[in-house]
Structure 1
Amino acid sequence: MPNGTGLLGDSSSTSSAIIVPQPGNDDLYYIFTVDTSDQQYRMNVGFHYSIVDMSLNGGTGDIVSSQKNINLLPLTSEKLTAISNATGDGFWVLTQFEDTYYAYEITAAGLNLAPVTSIVGPTIELISTPITNVDVAAMRGYIKLNARGDKLVAAHFSNNTTAEFSGITNVLEARSLAYAQGGELYLYDFNNATGVVSNPQPLMTRADGASFYGVEFSGNGRYLYAEADYMLPSTTVIYEFLRGEILQYDLTAANIAASKAVVHTDMIAPFRGALQLGLDNRIYHSRINESFLSVINNPDDGGTASNYIYNDFALTNGAQAIYGLPIFVQSFLLNGDINAVDHCFGESQAFTFNTSAQVESILWDFGDINSSNNISMDLNPSHIFSAPGTYTVTANVETLVSSFTETIEITVFEPAIIDAVPMDIELCDEGFDTASFDLSIIESQVSSSLNQSVSIHETDEEARLNINSISTNLPYQNISSPQTLYVRVSNTNCYDITSFNINVKNCPVKVFNVLTPDDDGINDTFIVSGLRDVYDKHKIFIFTRYGMKIWEGDNNTSSWDGTSNRGLVHKKGKRLPTGTYFYIIEFNEPGLKPIAGYVYLN
């Protein structure tokens, strides 16, 4: 950004900066910065904010010139964190100095410049000594709010007093005392409605001998993690490193301090570094000069099942970790996803919630004010919306030690309308139990809407998948009898399925009683329509007027062509004389009697 340089933070600060959106304005963002000084801490310029307006600089954003590096506190520690407020329409931004927490609220009206102050222990004195890089040690270490916004943890790297440095002039000795005598790890209650910090609970103190820097809460809110360094003063180096530990505290325990578990320890120096929860629900540990981040892979699990792995996540080629990691509004890290889809009116929609948190309850509001079942406490409810439209569905999720809200927009589409179930079609058998069906009549029966399409399919699955539709431009020949065909009626988003049957029946035969076998293609054989391949067990007998059988055939023989294949009077295969002959047709089907008549051979 053209005006984006010169912000009064410092790359050496534990939490150099945090970005918080302006509620109700998608273009405005606050950048809060805390300064530091490794020379003399009192030389730093304190706590500031600047405002970014994303509508500036052609839509790529810039710092508002009149809202750059606005001072809030002349001095503060290197600590900074933020959380959503209780009503969800704003944020609290917290920093700490000595024995006081300062909570600034941001709402749609902007930043309230009058902080809520809470005086709570321990007092972390900004010591006074002329020796450089000594007073800064006590100002280091993270503060973090849990995602629910009711717990605050503070890591103080050291807690020295000015009196301890009285008479010390040796730089190495002074720095060794500042770095290696232990710090404080405290847990507090936070009221995200009022901004008040209260109820300080010491988890570890200076007497325990550890210095604290990185802290973080697990995604499910149950566990607190802290990074602890154990060091001894030295006369040859700043400190003698003994070991580092990753500590876990169970926030559901009756005695939280006593629930401490060491989930990892090693003696690889340096150990000090940030702990930061990621959107993948893993906690990342930064260790200086490494080309990897170490990872707590399962922070929602107790003890060593949390699975800390040293140098588990590779950084971009050529990159190296320092002490810190970026910090975020902590409530942004507690998340989940509502699983549901846009669907058609009349369908029951199932809702599930996907989150790494240990869910205790969910209050669902389907945004369907006209429904008598708009609210549900089921973890995995179903809902039928009262009308087509777009609905905002809200899930208020309560975990064991946290709460958060997620929403999703669901569109309920206009359904496809079937005007009427199509009528079954029955045709006469054209042979082999088949017939040629005109299916073009079906569309007008099932849908009169110009905004809907109609297709016909041989199976229900094909209809639902909308594949292999039957062409209605040509007669359709059935593949079984009876056969069910499936009709898909569709609009832009929805479809419905109905069905009808087509059936082939045996119809009465029609006898053409004139035979003129002159090879002109007309009546060259004895034609009985609807007989061959329909009554496939039939037999035909041809007789002279004197009752002599002169021809016999069935479904497997050619039709009678005026020649004889039976009897002694006429030569087989020779054309019979002109005259009247008589036929008998036996169907050999249950319930059907033979028929008889005459045929004139010319």
Structure 2
Amino acid sequence: MKKNILTYGFVLCTFFLFAQKQTNIWYFGNKAGLDFNNIPPLVLRDGSASSFEGSSTVSDNNGKLLFYTNGQVIMNRQHLQMKNGSALSGHQSSTNNTLIVPLPGNDSIYYVFTTGAALQETHQFQYNIVNIKGDGGLGEVIAGNILIEDVIFEKLAGVRHCNKRDAWIVIHKWDSDEYHSYLLTATGFNPVPVVSRTGLVITGFENNEIGTLKFSSKGTKLAAVHSFENDVVELMDFDNTTGVLSNPVVFKPNAIPHTPSFIGVYGAEFSPNGNLLYVSANNSAIDPSVLYQFDITSHNAATILGTKQTIAKTVPWFAGALQLGPDMKIYMAMWKDTSVSVIDDPDVFGPGCNFRYNKIFIGPAGKEPVQFGLPTFIQSYFDTASVPYDFSRSGNCLDRNITFKLNRLSGIDSVKWYFGDTQQSQALQPTHNYAAPGFYDVKLIVYKVDCSGLNDTINRRIWIADSAGFLGADTSSCNVLALTIGIEEIEGANYLWNTGYNGNKIITTGFGTYWLELQQNGCKLRDSIDVIEKPKPVVNLGTDTTICKFKPVILTTGSSFYDTYLWNTGQSTPSITVDKAGTYYIDVTLNGCKASDTVVVFPGDCAIFIPSAFTPNSDGLNDMFGVLGDITVRSFSMQVFNKWGQMVFTTTDISQKWDGTYKGKKALIGTYPWIVYYVTGNGLRKYLQGTVMLIR
């Protein structure tokens, strides 16, 4: 038996199981579009191909556009014509003019099936092959307009095979009761159809071939809408293993025949659960648009008609196609409208289905963005049962008694659980008690009912916490610093901080409370941590000051309660005494927090000291006469005179001194008058005079 392994990340081998996002981008009508990667869908107006009726679009597994077509030209994701993508044999006035189907097991090759229109002389069924990796990743048509058969209706539909890999493409022969089911497998397209001769023979007026062909998303029912002269809906069972259609029932939604110039019934769509069928109709000038709902669970024509609900009517536009969306709502096009209408709750019988006329505005009046059609898809893309099996755990991450829950229970024959601690269970949703905290590798095998021969194996590593306080103790900091707080990476966990960050660790930006909530495979746990501001020391050495010779200055922090002191002089006391001008700074610490301050000691406006005697005898002691000390002045002048009034010395440099000579000769012993004029650093003008005794 082949097994399908599903690991964390949900990677599956079949293309259908992730196909929901392949339908996330729609292009239709007059260059209109919808993007279902947004909820509600985002309106797109960048399309470059128009279609009166059918179209088809395909996106990748992440919902990113790959290409789209109106049956006549293929446009790549850049909205440019794909290489070799022109002159397709489809027609934009065909109900279901085209269908894009990925080749099973291949992420590069796509088949593009096309049909002609009733207004054409030939109604051919053809296919083209696209290699999406061609032309630098923009896609390239590598085979075009390959004829499958002639003379078919302008309708086709697709659904997956029971094996979840292959795909059926179904068409209806003209002038015949034959439905042809073609199979696309990993080896390619099988040109030999499964023929089902059932139901109505449609012939006569060419417009009788108008109307949609639509599968239910589960692939068990097919609805064929036959417009104009027939004005009926044909409902059949479909065997998605053999491709055989059977058990046709035919019913006529319109109780009163439509006006001949109107087409009658046109579009159809199944509810997501497959129990209801919606049918659109255009009947007369006063009744141009009608939307019906039927309960089809009986599969009996009379009973079905007895459940008819008229959901909407007499709206001002012709009713067009109906299409189920990725959001499980049904969308309705109306010819030449500006908007798309929506059935919000299509599984609900009666008015509770919530039809919303013109709910999504597409474009302004006059542009006619909406026409008759909406994109045609493989309907299995909308089967909720195609969602991969998965499981989650209950409760808090501290809980050791854990209940495991499957995401869905349908389609299961049996299961087997391996809890990662040697224990096992075959209960659908078991409860298991773990002996200790830690990591456990849990494995679930789902044995399915379907014919695929595939069993889903899901592996999860679960975490049982040993403490709610996983962030640790509160922390403190002196300043608003970048502190890293958090938890080591936990496999499979999602993280959410109160800041909005979603990583396992965060760098703080300020003081306060930080909490982290983590989820790991269904469990939740939250912890918080306070980042507290420590009391910081404040040190102040005061304002800058001045110093004078023989008058030292005391610099002090004003506190003896700090843990440490360190001056740039190397001293480690609360106060220091300095006797020189300069810059002094201190670092203090308290509780691990540091503070600093700086003070500048300038030379002050001190009194000038001039000696009263000097002995210029070259003994190195008092040999010079002048101003003593390091004093800052703005300007300075000094003159010394002998007793006859002759100036024996003069200078404007406060540091220059008289050596006791005059005209190169030693001056006589005696008393010498002097005068000094200077301007202080603060701008004060000073004048001094006195005498000095020259002694030898």
Within-5 A mapping of 1:489-500: 492-493=490-491
Secondary structure of the 1:12 match is coil
Hey, what does 2:178 align to over in structure 1?
Answer: 100
Contact 1:363/1:376 (8 A) holds in 2: no
Hey, what does 1:532 align to over in structure 2?
Answer: none
Distance 1:53 1:368 in 2: 42
Distance 2:381 2:341 in 1: 22
Tell me how far 1:204 sits from its aligned partner.
1.4
Which residue of 71, 79, 83 maps to 2:159? 83
Hey, what does 2:14 align to over in structure 1?
Answer: none
Distance 2:425 2:405 in 1: 13
Does residue 412 in structure 1 map to residue 482 in structure 2? Answer: no
Which residue of 470, 473, 491 maps to 1:468? 473
Contact 2:111/2:127 (8 A) holds in 1: yes
Q: 1:224 to 1:375 in 2, by over 3 A?
A: farther
1:368-418 deviations in Å (ceiling 9; x for gaps): 59977465445xx557899955857659699xxxx9x996954316888x9
Hey, what does 1:42 align to over in structure 2?
Answer: 121
Secondary structure of the 2:381 match is helix
Q: 1:227 to 1:49 in 2, by over 3 A?
A: same
Does residue 288 in structure 1 map to residue 335 in structure 2? Answer: yes
Letter in 1 for 2:185: T
Hey, what does 1:183 align to over in structure 2?
Answer: 231
Hey, what does 2:246 align to over in structure 1?
Answer: 198
Q: 1:201 to 1:366 in 2, by over 3 A?
A: same
Contact 1:363/1:377 (8 A) holds in 2: no
Which residue of 150, 162, 172 maps to 1:74? 150
Q: 1:142 to 1:467 in 2, by over 3 A?
A: farther
Does residue 18 in structure 1 map to residue 96 in structure 2? Answer: no
Letter in 2 for 1:251: I
- Segments of 5+ residues of structure 2 without an aligned counterpart are 1-81, 259-263, 477-485, 494-517, 526-696
1:47-86 deviations in Å (ceiling 9; x for gaps): 111111122222332111xx21111111211111111111
Which residue of 207, 213, 218 maps to 1:143? 213
Contact 2:122/2:151 (8 A) holds in 1: no
Q: 1:341 to 1:288 in 2, by over 3 A?
A: same
Distance 2:164 2:182 in 1: 15
Distance 1:470 1:265 in 2: 64
Hey, what does 2:227 align to over in structure 1?
Answer: 157
Secondary structure of the 1:77 match is strand
1:101-138 deviations in Å (ceiling 9; x for gaps): 110011122211101111222111044xxxxxxx2x21
Letter in 2 for 1:324: G
Q: 1:467 to 1:226 in 2, by over 3 A?
A: farther
Relative to its length, the structure with more helix (as a share) is 1
Hey, what does 2:67 align to over in structure 1?
Answer: none
Letter in 2 for 1:203: F
Secondary structure of the 2:208 match is helix
Hey, what does 1:63 align to over in structure 2?
Answer: 141
Contact 2:122/2:150 (8 A) holds in 1: no
Does residue 122 in structure 1 map to residue 200 in structure 2? Answer: yes
Does residue 214 in structure 1 map to residue 267 in structure 2? Answer: yes
Does residue 315 in structure 1 map to residue 362 in structure 2? Answer: yes
1:315-336 deviations in Å (ceiling 9; x for gaps): 2566611101001111110126
Hey, what does 1:351 align to over in structure 2?
Answer: 405
Distance 2:252 2:243 in 1: 25
Contact 1:287/1:321 (8 A) holds in 2: yes
Hey, what does 1:230 align to over in structure 2?
Answer: 283
- Segments of 5+ residues of structure 1 without an aligned counterpart are 128-134, 160-181, 232-239, 419-459, 472-487, 498-602
Which residue of 296, 314, 319 maps to 1:272? 319
Within-5 A mapping of 1:426-505: 461=468, 463-464=469-470, 466-468=471-473, 492-493=490-491
Structure of higher CA gyration radius? 2
Letter in 2 for 1:148: K
Q: 1:344 to 1:259 in 2, by over 3 A?
A: farther
Tell me how far 1:270 sits from its aligned partner.
3.4
Relative to its length, the structure with more strand (as a share) is 2
Secondary structure of the 2:380 match is helix
Within-5 A mapping of 1:22-33: 22-33=103-114
Q: 1:369 to 1:489 in 2, by over 3 A?
A: closer
Determine which structure has greater relative contact order: mean sequence separation of CA pairs < 8 Å that are 6+ residues apart, divided by chain length: 2
Distance 2:372 2:163 in 1: 34
Hey, what does 1:304 align to over in structure 2?
Answer: 351
Secondary structure of the 2:373 match is coil
Hey, what does 1:251 align to over in structure 2?
Answer: 296
- Percent identical pairs in the alignment equals 28
Distance 2:102 2:187 in 1: 12
Contact 1:9/1:33 (8 A) holds in 2: yes
